[in-house]
Chain A
């Protein structure tokens, strides 16, 4: 895989952001989404670092929302998946599909 291809965790975070949509995608909800769909209890610190990395790669952009009372008056940082991010997810899916092809029998045997 190329240098800029997505890591497994990056892919999970991007997929969670895409599922949640810009309005609901922020660190806490991303953690919840990944846990709900994969059962993986990831730490928020990992999400922060990954979001920073994805933003630096230009795959996502973030913006601060309005202050929220239940967050002690603090705003949420909403995540938006950019076109480059969507394209990266697509490429990852294609790569995985290619690797998947022909392995069905073996996996069933297991």
Chain B
């Protein structure tokens, strides 16, 4: 009946030799006493005891050295580490850069995780804000609450200090000056306002009376918006603004730092009648709750469960009601999944980097075997030797942490500037991120430092000091390390090849010279969509044809058209089959993008008709024959050199074939699919009456942006609820795509570059180790007359095999992944033919560079020196 082995091991390891006997004896004695009361409990208590004693002993050993404890103990090691770093700059630089990249990635990953999982509303009491969701069981679909349900929640959920409602939307606002702007609007039950910390710039906040049914519509406005579009804060109060077709009185101005709940320009009151069971709220109202001080989410959920079960069973068609509370900032499963992914990526990247750095350290540690042997002979324990190597890597990790976290902060600042980010999400990283990064740095240093040091000091160090003694232990570059090098080479080829292909697509995308007019205004719009329930809005929405007519009537408008895509939008291709002529066999379907356009589309883009004609009024009628206008690349691709006019083609999809369409005209390529020549061949068909989402193109006399307000006004007069999205010039269309290309390309280049650097570091480490291990053998072979080529072949053999396997696998994967990338980015193309060979050539050059230093060392070995060295 001995004390737990773990406890004994802890004490044996951590207590000084002179105290070991009696501490172990005390451990046995106390364990035997305790075990009478229960073996399991005795085990845990004894191990806990041993842990505390071990910790106390370690701390005592450190502090008993006086002065600065740890620093005193390892000051010499640290100085030695600094000197080694200085004397081996290439290795130091390689390892530090690799660790820096790892720490930077870790910082970004952990900061993202912290932002996604632990964000809170940035004001006092913000953690008490939550949403109450209603769903129906089984199925989990959203449930409509009745006025009685709302009343039940409002009166019976006593864990809530307050319950209210929130909405969020984009609306047209007609401002006092007559200007029309699209604004972000937050609807809020006025009584909720008292829980949102704020200070007014002018006017008054919402009052409970603003939420009473029949109260006049009132609004609060953001200071920045008021100054830009209405007046100074004091003068903005009492202004009348039409928001979504309803006139609101501005009662107060809030500073720009008030962003609850969705960074709006206007806050408007929501009728609170639904909370008293008097009415049903708008369908898009979300139920907001604020926990009472001291109440827990669990208590609330228990109450909600009781409330839900007390409601009439089977009250919905689908099943029973279920009420669930989630934190206001809870990102749900998506946030959790993203966090898990980011942490897994961070851990994997850090592991790979640490393993690579570990290989470098192993190579160097092996070269220092004699030094280790000497120190061991002078009394240094193996632990001391290992600690020294660990401290060296820790020093590099410290530098890497400093540089990596600063670099990561720059990237995180970029994330924070994203427009769509909720205001409470802050990627700056907090205490959790700092702690995790520090743990990661120490863990990476441990993986990279301790393992190689243990291998280098494994056995027989003293044998190295004997005359003619060999190297200590059987230090080898393991198989896992070899596989890792191969994998990294393959991955880096895929990444860098992908980056080059994307970069080429980007270059073509931005460099395409399209013959398009510069005075065209565009906007994305939803037509034919009825906005139900908006007060004061006409039920009949404006149609596309009506929209064209209204805008065309404005002075200065030269032409207007609507289409499902504009130049540079690059719609996806559909399988198209040309009608065979004569006895020829039908050709296989090939992809070509289709765009629906109105009659005025080509005119708005000042399109030169190459042959035939464009659409006329008769082509847009429901019973009109199917016709199409094709672009020049389409004519070449499907009809060759023959005249395409009068020829027919159809969509030939697996799920059915479309009607044969007759070609009535040919136009130039208007930028159908810039960046991907394979999808440049496209065609246009008349705009369908069922099309809801489309783009507006208005050619104007003069600067097109000066027409924005007039266009909004004329359409709003007809349909107050119609919302234009962002207006922009034609040449700015698809700038998001350009940004995406740029970021995608940069990310691929970055990841590919890092991976390649890691792979080359692995190759370098392997070559260094091989040369170090075989110095004596090389010397002997040279002395016996071996040729330089023969020696090189022996040394390079393994590295060459690994680079070749990695290169081949990478090339295959790069070609295979083109399909995947094309699925992600339709207009990317396959890249030029020289792309892959160039990447492979670069890899060979980089591989040679990585092996050059060790090779030079190997070839400079003199037989006498090599033999004398041992």
The segment from A14-22, A33-41, A45-53, A90-98 that touches chain B is A45-53
Does residue B2 face the partner (Cβ distance < 8 Å to A)? yes
Interface residues of B in 41-92 (CB under 8 A from A): 49, 52-53, 55-57, 60, 64
Size class of the contact patch on chain B: 20 to 34
Find out whether the CB atom of A26 lies under 8 angstroms from the CB atom of B22: yes
B22, B24, B29, B52: which contacts A45 (Cβ < 8 A)? B52
Q: How large is the interface on A (under 10, 10 to 19, 20 to 34, 35 or more residues)?
A: 20 to 34
Within 8 A of B (CB), among A53-99: 56, 64, 68, 70-72, 74-77
Q: Is the CB of B24 within 8 A of A74?
A: yes
Central interface residue in B2, B25, B26, B55, by most chain A CB within 10 Å: B25
- Assess whether B28 is interfacial by the CB under 8 Å rule: yes
B21 adjacent to A45 (CB under 8 Å): no
Nearest CB in chain A: distance from B14 CB, A: 11
- Name the residue of chain A whose CB is nearest to the CB of B59: A49
Collect the chain A residues with CB atoms within 8 Å of residue B28's CB.
70-72, 74
A27 within 8 A of partner (CB): yes
CB of A43 within 8 A of chain B?
Answer: yes
**Closest chain A residue to B55, Cβ basis:** A45
Q: Given known contacts A43-B52, A44-B30, is B22 in contact with A76 (CB within 8 Å)?
A: yes
Q: A49-B60, A72-B3 are in contact. Are A44 and B21 (CB under 8 A)?
A: no
Residue on B nearest A46 in the bound complex, by CB = B56
Q: Are A44 and B29 in contact (CB under 8 A)?
A: no
Question: Assuming the A-B contacts A75-B21, A77-B22, are A70 and B56 also in contact, with contact meaning beta carbons closer than 8 angstroms in the complex?
Answer: no
- Say yes or no: A44 contacts B24, CB within 8 Å: no
In the assembled complex, B39 has its CB within 8 A of some CB on chain A = no
A51: min CB distance to chain B, Å = 9
- Contact of A68 with B25 at beta-carbon distance under 8 Å, contacts A44-B30, A52-B60 already known: yes
Q: Mark B1-41, 1 if CB is under 8 A from A, else 0.
A: 01100000000000000010111111011101000000000
In the complex, A78 Cα to B30 Cα: how many Å?
Answer: 16
Residue pair B53, A28 in contact (C-beta under 8 Å): no
Alpha-carbon gap, A70 to B2, bound state (A): 10
Bound CA span A7–B100, Å: 47
Residues of A within 8 A of B32 (CB): 70
Q: A45-B52, A48-B19 are in contact. Are A72 and B26 (CB under 8 A)?
A: no
Which of B22, B29, B32, B52 counts the most A-chain CB atoms under 10 A from its CB?
B22
State the CA gap A48–B52 with chains docked (Å): 11
Kindly report which residue of chain A lies nearest to residue B25, judged by CB atoms.
Answer: A74
Q: How far is the CA of A72 from the CA of B60 in the complex (A)?
A: 26
Which of chain A's residues have a CB closer than 8 A to the CB of B52?
43, 45
Give bound CA distance, A72 to B21, whole Å: 10
Residues on A with beta carbons closer than 8 Å to the beta carbon of B64? 52, 56
**B49 and A44: CB pair below 8 A?**
yes
CB of A66 to closest CB in B, whole Å: 11
Residues of A within 8 A of B55 (CB): 45
Residue of B nearest to A75 (CB): B21
- From A28, A71, A76, residue with most partner B Cβ within 10 Å: A71
Chain B residues positioned under 8 Å from A44 (CB to CB): 26, 30, 49, 53
Option from B2, B22, B53, B56 in Cβ contact (under 8 Å) with A75: B22
Complex CA–CA separation, A43 to B30 (angstroms): 12
Q: Which of B24, B26, B49 has the most CB of A within 10 A?
A: B26
Residue of A nearest to B54 (CB): A45
Selected contact of A27 from candidates B2, B22, B57, B60, CB within 8 Å: B22
Given contacts A28-B30, A43-B52, A44-B49, contact A76 B25 (CB under 8 A): yes
Cβ distance B566 to chain A, nearest Cβ, rounded Å? 75
Residues 779-837 (chain B) with a chain A CB within 8 angstroms:
none
Other-chain residue from A68, A70, A71, A77 in contact with B19 (beta carbon distance below 8 A): A77
CA distance A68 to B22 in the complex (A): 11
B5 vs chain A, min Cβ distance (A): 12
Residue numbers in A under 8 Å from B19 (CB-CB): 48, 52, 77
Q: Which of B2, B29, B53 contacts A48 (CB 8 A)?
A: B53
- Assess whether A64 is in contact with B60, with CB atoms less than 8 Å apart: no
Chain B residue numbers with a CB within 8 Å of A75 are: 21-22, 25
Contact assessment for A64 and B22 in the assembled complex, using a CB-CB cutoff below 8 Å: yes
A64 to B11, CA, bound (A): 17
B63, closest chain A residue (CB): A49
Q: Which residue of A lies closest to B28 (CB)?
A: A72
Closest beta carbon of chain B to A49's beta carbon, Å: 5
Q: Which chain B positions have C-beta within 8 A of A43? A: 49, 52
User: Do the beta carbons of A70 and B29 come within 8 Å of each other?
Assistant: yes
Query: In the complex, what residue of chain A is closest to B53 when comparing beta carbons?
Result: A45
**B474 smallest CB distance to A (angstroms):** 38
Bound complex: CA A68 to CA B49 (Å) = 21
A52→B19 CA distance, assembly (Å): 10
CA distance A48 to B55 in the complex (A): 12
Residues of B within 8 A of A72 (CB): 2-3, 24-25, 28
Residue from B2, B3, B24, B29 in contact with A28 in the complex, judged by beta carbons closer than 8 Å: B29
For B21, give its contact among A46, A48, A64 (CB under 8 Å): A64
In the complex with contacts A27-B22, A64-B21, A76-B22, A71-B53 CB distance below 8 A: no
Chain B min CB distance to A40 (Å): 16
Quote the shortest CB–CB distance from B494 to chain A (angstroms): 54
Interchain CA distance A79-B224 in the complex, whole Å: 77
Distance from B468 Cβ to chain A, minimum over Cβ atoms (Å): 45
Please determine whether B2 and A74 come into contact, CB atoms closer than 8 angstroms: no
Please, which residues of chain A bring their CB within 8 A of the CB of B56?
Answer: 45-46, 48-49
**What B residues does A52 contact at CB under 8 A?**
19, 60, 64
Nearest-neighbour CB distance to chain B for A1, whole angstroms, equals 21
Asked whether A71 lies within 8 Å of B29 as measured between CB atoms, the reply is yes
- Residues on A with beta carbons closer than 8 Å to the beta carbon of B30: 28, 44
A33 to B495 CA separation, bound complex (whole angstroms): 70
A–B pairs, 12, beta carbons within 8 Å: A43-B52, A48-B19, A48-B23, A49-B56, A52-B19, A52-B60, A64-B22, A68-B25, A68-B29, A74-B25, A76-B22, A77-B22
Closest 6 CB pairs of A and B: A74-B25, A77-B22, A72-B28, A45-B56, A71-B25, A45-B53
Query: Which residues on A are within 8 Å of B, measured CB to CB?
Result: 26-28, 43-46, 48-49, 52, 56, 64, 68, 70-72, 74-77
Extra inter-chain contacts (16) besides given A48-B19, A68-B25, CB under 8 Å: A26-B26, A27-B26, A28-B30, A44-B26, A45-B55, A48-B53, A48-B56, A49-B56, A52-B19, A52-B64, A70-B32, A72-B2, A72-B3, A74-B24, A74-B25, A76-B25
